Amino acid sequence: GAGVSQSPRYKVAKRGQDVALRCDPISGHVSLFWYQQALGQGPEFLTYFQNEAQLDKSGLPSDRFFAERPEGSVSTLKIQRTQQEDSAVYLCASSAYRPTEAFFGQGTRLTVV
């Protein structure tokens, strides 16, 4: 596809369930970012990949959050033992190199019940 693709668009999880969110960046984009956006707030940084290397994971809120990009293209954000405070929109962005113009996906809206 031409843009950043995220799946699923919507996910409802029971508290304690594990979830996996997928991001397909624009082909050839080196940089990939994950952000968490709570309702009514701006996006908050979670983690950054350059190719397959996770260079910054300082924004991950707890050890229940894990991200990978094993082949330097598709990335997966995994949340273990989900809790209600994890409910948010999870945004993925990719860019050609350092944050010049970034392209954002549609986001995955996660609701933990």
Under rule CB under 8 A, which residues in 17-56 are in contact with another protein? 31, 33, 35, 40-45, 48, 50, 55-56
Choice from 19, 91, 110, 112 touching another protein (CB under 8 A): 91
**98 counts as binding another protein under rule CB under 8 A:** yes
Choice from 93, 94, 110, 112 touching another protein (CB under 8 A): 93
Give me the DSSP letters along 2-42.
-S-EEE-SEEEE-TT--EEEEEE--TT--EEEEEEE-TTS-
Give the pair of three-digit tokens for residue 19.
Answer: 């979830």
Beta bridge partners of 110: 11, 88
Under rule CB under 8 A, which residues in 55-74 are in contact with another protein? 55-56, 59
**85 counts as binding another protein under rule CB under 8 A:** no
Give the integer Cα–Cα distance in Å for 46 and 29.
18
Q: How far is the CB of 41 from another protein (least distance, A)?
A: 6
Give me the DSSP letters along 79-104.
ESS--GGG-EEEEEEEESSSSSS-EE
Q: What are the residues binding another protein (CB under 8 A)?
A: 4, 6, 31, 33, 35, 40-45, 48, 50, 55-56, 59, 91, 93, 98-107, 109
